[in-house]
Amino acid sequence: MSIMAAEVQMFLLFGGVLGLLTFATVVGQVLESRSAGAPADGGIANLNARINGWWAMVACAGLALLFGTTGVTVLFAVLSLAALREFITLSHTRRSDHWALLAGFFFVLPVQYALVWSERYGIYSVLIPVYAFLIMPIISVLHGDVRRFLGRVAEVQWGLMICVFCLSHVPALLMLDIPGYEGRNILLVAFLFIVAQSSDVLQYVWGKLAGRRRIAPKVSPAKTVEGFLGGVLSATVIGAGLWWITPFAPWQAASLAMAIALMGFLGGLVMSAIKRDRGVKDWGWMIEGHGGSLDRLDSVVFAAPVFFHLVRFWWAS
């Protein structure tokens, strides 16, 4: 398929997203106008705040796309920086960990994304899980502070894995060489995000409509079995419907969408457990109505590496 045809697909996809956001904005404003003069409705205010947040996120994504691969890579490097900051803020680090943290923020993170941008798969696939895993505790132990040492080191390592390593697999999708799909890899990023985010939203919707049995009451009381099944199955159908922007057949798109939705759900549970352990509701307040960057990316960070490696193994040359 020609580059021009790929641009048409991207235009149609973004047009559809903008259309949905416009519709949601109109609905939100109508609901707000109807409730004027009535007691404050926190649900409507939260809905409009979330919609405004989505507008901001789509605008940032569109701006990054204007600069191509470099723009997308820089965008996710910035998101990793914000996510890592949120994660470390809730971690039990001490002054003796500061040099290790500086190395993580200002060396490991930019080097990881530079390697992704330069398509050095053999190095960026092991930089954090091997070299940073070994070096970070060495930097910390040289300060001689052994109080809560294992927990402190593990939290820093986890932060790098979740916020940098996993998230860097999103721009890494742009570097895959898929025969017959040249110049269209950005659509794989769109596929990943649309499926992951729609699964989150639809799990919430199905949970509100039909939720009865809690699936993990001690971790995330709002999540239900019905919401989980409805959201995952709905996201799978959406993924199958988006096969035309991918190199996959409809059934393959559905299978990958289900994998994304399942990993997203499980990733969300893991991140919810961490927040509950720390006694907070959100990771931060970066995005109005959505919390911190990790609150929007918690499902993506678990789904991205799995999706990347499935595509790389079965479709990339």
Contact call for residues 184 and 1 (beta carbons, < 8 A): yes
The pLDDT score that the predictor gives to residue 261 is 96
Q: Write down the residue that tokens 């960057």 correspond to.
A: 293
In the three-class reduction of DSSP (H, G, I as helix; E, B as strand; rest coil), residue 306 is classed as: helix
The pLDDT score that the predictor gives to residue 105 is 97
Cα dihedral 87→272→203→223 (10° resolution): -170
- Return the beta strands (E) in 178-305 as ranges: none
Stretches where the chain sits below pLDDT 70 are 1-7, 35-50, 284-291
DSSP for 169-223? HHHHGGG---TT-TT-THHHHHHHHHHHHHHHHHHHHHHHHH--SBS-TTT-TT-
Query: pLDDT digits over 251-302, tens only?
Result: 999 999 999 999 999 999 999 898 888 888 777 666 555 567 888 788 899 9
The pLDDT score that the predictor gives to residue 83 is 93
Instruction: Tokens for 86, please give them.
Output: 């949120």
The pLDDT score that the predictor gives to residue 164 is 97
The pLDDT score that the predictor gives to residue 82 is 92
The pLDDT score that the predictor gives to residue 25 is 81
Instruction: Tokens for 104, please give them.
Output: 């993580």
